[in-house]
């Protein structure tokens, strides 16, 4: 039976700790959990795991929500939407953890840790000296001490119910196992009244009806401990799916902050589309088994299959992200692109973006943030704003730098453009009108001066597109300027 065919409605969760900004690793986990839920008409929960108050960074919860919202990953229950099980913020669920902790105490399966930090350090040092792993359960206090009442001032530890080899199944990694040394009497409640991650997530997953846990490989080594806790609580563990790591370009290491695993919202600020980000992340460690590479969220929701998640890591790099960005920009309507560009352009630039410039913008940009650069300095569309003061010599085609012939061509183009009616003054209309003359007189001979005359640039879009963008009046004006320049004797 595949996990997706199990009869229970699928419930997945993304459970970040609010310890800083969201990076692509976290978002990929959220996306896969979300897609698994949506594919199966299940529920997706955003749970905030804020039980480690020392590591908490202010603003992280909002950042997590903003990042997921940007990508269209919508939670059914989350920090702003409590569920039938109560709050989705762990610090607001303390009484629930306490209730479970007390049940374990009552069953003799949890006990207050009587040791001081110094005593524990000494046990650790002893194990190090003997070159064996430190196991707390080798130092269990006497039965008497174990039965001491728990007043919350001491950490509470699980008394591992069965110490034996652990075996479990992972949808991605297959059958896994670990020796007895992977189990220990770990802390479930801290002396500050908060549960540990190890304890709280298990209680919450149970209370929230989570059927599938998708998370990174850093949790595999602790799974035997989690299994002891499920056993102590008399719970069936959910289905585990360990996602493969996201690798650096050279595939040798996991992508770390120093390799550019940056704040996900920085990509937004740079003008990457959420569609592109989703697309690249969906394909890191998963593929549908077809040739298709470009996916929309709607498509992903219908084709995602957790059984096809791979074991080996996948590479993330910005070049690939740029490729996806261009693909999604190309699919976008002009109207939609215009809306997306809004926040990247100032008002002067906005006035230059219309149905005439949009196709070119679409073709040239990698990110939305590239669009304003097209209008500035040497940008491909900088000619639209104003005609630069280029030297007359620039009008002469290098292979035939004859001033008189160049003047003749420009004058002829001027007159031909002048006779095109305004409604036919499109790139195609202009090309159709002048093409016979171009063919008869040589492409370079005519098109070079034509293009330099309308754009004033060595490099620019072709003269038909450029004239169309400028409009008839401005194009004629610029052709006249070119003629004047050629008629002015050089000093
Ligand atoms: N709070 C954990 C973290 O942010 C989540 C792990 C999990 O998904 O169970 O690393």
- In DSSP notation, 111-179 reads EE----HHHHHHHHHHHHHTTS---GGGGPPPHHHHTS---SSS-EEE--S--S-EEEEETTTEEEEE-
- Summarize pLDDT for 463-478 with one digit per residue, the tens: 999 999 999 999 999 9
CATH of domain 392-487: 1.10.10.350
How much distance in Å is there from the Cα of 57 to the middle of ligand 1?
Answer: 16
Pocket test for ligand 1, best of 219, 221, 238 (most atoms within 8 A of CB): 219
Q: Which ranges in the chain are annotated with CATH 3.40.50.620?
A: 93-243
What's the pLDDT score for residue 489?
82
- Summarize pLDDT for 190-246 with one digit per residue, the tens: 999 999 999 999 999 999 999 999 999 999 999 999 999 999 999 999 999 999 999
Which atom of ligand 1 has the smallest separation from the CA of 197?
Answer: 1
pLDDT for residue 158 is more than 60: yes
Element (H, E) at 315: strand 314-315
Pocket test for ligand 1, best of 16, 20, 30 (most atoms within 8 A of CB): 16
- In DSSP notation, 168-232 reads EEETTTEEEEE-GGG----EEE-TTSPBPHHHHHHHHHHHTT--EEEE-GGGTTTHHHHHHHHHH
Q: Ligand 1 within 6 A of 201 CB?
A: yes
Mean local confidence (pLDDT), 46-74: 96
Ranges 130-134, 293-297, 401-405: which has the least confidence: 130-134
pLDDT for residue 283 is more than 90: yes
Neighbours of 302 (CB within 10 A): 11
What is the β-pairing status of strands 110-112 and 156-158? Answer: antiparallel
**What's the CA dihedral at 484, 485, 489, 491 to 10 degrees?**
140
Mean local confidence (pLDDT), 380-409: 95
- Cβ(235)–Cβ(226) under 8 Å? no
What's the pLDDT score for residue 119?
95
- Summarize pLDDT for 81-96 with one digit per residue, the tens: 999 999 999 999 999 9
pLDDT for residue 491 is more than 80: no
Structure tokens at 335: 């109207």
**Class of residue 288 by CB neighbours under 10 A (exposed 0-12, middle 13-18, buried 19+):** middle
Query: Cβ neighbours of residue 352 under 8 Å, at least 6 residues apart?
Result: 375, 381, 384, 385
Is the pTM higher than 0.85? yes
**Class of residue 289 by CB neighbours under 10 A (exposed 0-12, middle 13-18, buried 19+):** exposed
- Residue 372's φ and ψ, nearest 5 degrees, are -60, -30
Pocket test for ligand 1, best of 56, 215, 230 (most atoms within 8 A of CB): 215
Q: Ligand 1 within 6 A of 205 CB?
A: no
How much distance in Å is there from the Cα of 48 to the middle of ligand 1?
Answer: 9
Q: Ligand 1 within 6 A of 243 CB?
A: no
How much distance in Å is there from the Cα of 15 to the middle of ligand 1?
Answer: 5
Q: Which ranges in the chain are annotated with CATH 1.10.10.350?
A: 392-487
**Selected catalytic residue, list 8, 253, 257, 311:** 257
User: Does 257 participate in catalysis according to the annotation?
Assistant: yes
How much distance in Å is there from the Cα of 149 to the middle of ligand 1?
Answer: 31
How much distance in Å is there from the Cα of 17 to the middle of ligand 1?
Answer: 6
Strand partners, 84: none
pLDDT for residue 411 is more than 80: yes
Which atom of ligand 1 has the smallest separation from the CA of 215?
Answer: 8
Comparison of pLDDT for 1 and 132, the residue scoring more: 132
Tell me what the pLDDT averaged over the chain comes to.
Answer: 94
Neighbours of 324 (CB within 10 A): 22
Domain 93-243 coded CATH 3.40.640.10: no
Structure tokens at 468: 């169309």
- Summarize pLDDT for 331-372 with one digit per residue, the tens: 999 999 999 999 999 999 999 999 999 999 999 999 999 999
Q: Kindly indicate the confidence band of residue 260, based on its pLDDT and cuts at 50, 70 and 90.
A: low
């Amino acid at each position: 039976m595949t996990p997706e065919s199990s009869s229970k409605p699928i419930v997945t969760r993304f459970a970040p700790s609010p310890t800083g900004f969201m990076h692509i690793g976290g978002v990929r986990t959220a996306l896969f959990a979300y897609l698994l839920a949506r594919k199966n008409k299940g529920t997706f929960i955003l749970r905030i795991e804020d039980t480690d108050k020392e590591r908490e960074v202010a603003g992280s919860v909002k950042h997590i929500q903003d990042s997921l919202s940007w990508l269209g990953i919508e939670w059914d229950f989350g920090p702003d939407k409590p569920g039938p099980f109560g709050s989705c913020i762990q610090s607001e669920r303390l009484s629930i953890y306490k209730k479970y902790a007390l049940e374990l105490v009552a069953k003799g399966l949890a006990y207050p840790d009587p040791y001081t930090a110094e005593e524990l350090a000494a046990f650790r040092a002893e194990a190090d000296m003997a070159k064996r792993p430190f196991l707390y359960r080798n130092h269990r206090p006497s039965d008497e001490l174990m039965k001491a009442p728990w007043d919350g001032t001491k950490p509470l530890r699980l008394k591992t119910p069965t110490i034996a080899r652990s075996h479990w199944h992972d949808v991605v990694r297959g059958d896994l196992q670990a020796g007895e040394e992977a189990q220990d009497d770990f802390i479930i409640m801290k002396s500050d009244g908060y549960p540990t991650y190890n304890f709280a997530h298990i209680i919450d997953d149970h209370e929230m009806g989570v059927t599938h846990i998708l998370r990174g490989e850093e949790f595999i080594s602790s799974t035997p401990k989690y299994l002891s806790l499920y056993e102590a609580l008399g719970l069936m563990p959910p289905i585990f799916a360990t996602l493969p790591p996201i690798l650096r370009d050279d595939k040798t290491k996991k992508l770390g902050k120093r390799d550019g695993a940056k704040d996900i919202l920085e990509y937004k600020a740079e003008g990457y589309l959420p569609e592109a980000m989703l697309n690249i992340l969906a394909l890191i460690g998963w593929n549908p088994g077809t040739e298709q590479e470009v996916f929309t969220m709607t498509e992903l929701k219908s084709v995602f299959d957790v059984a096809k998640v791979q074991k080996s890591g996948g590479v993330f790099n910005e070049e690939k992200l740029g490729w996806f960005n261009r693909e999604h920009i190309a699919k976008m309507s002009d109207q939609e692109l215009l809306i997306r560009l809004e926040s990247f352009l100032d008002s002067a630039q906005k006035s230059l973006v219309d149905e005439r410039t949009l196709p070119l913008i679409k073709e040239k940009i990698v990110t939305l943030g590239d669009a304003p650069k097209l209008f500035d300095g040497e940008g491909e569309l900088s000619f639209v704003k104003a005609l630069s003061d280029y030297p007359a010599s620039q009008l002469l085609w290098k292979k035939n730098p004859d001033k008189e012939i160049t003047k003749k061509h420009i004058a002829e183009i001027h007159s031909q453009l002048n006779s095109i009616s305004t409604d036919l003054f499109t790139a195609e209309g202009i090309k159709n009108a002048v093409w016979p003359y171009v063919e008869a007189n040589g492409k370079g001979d005519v098109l070079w001066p034509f293009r330099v005359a309308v754009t004033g640039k060595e490099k620019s879009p072709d003269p038909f597109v450029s004239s169309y963008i400028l409009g008839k009046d401005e194009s004629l004006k610029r052709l006249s300027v070119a003629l004047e320049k050629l008629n002015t004797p050089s000093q």
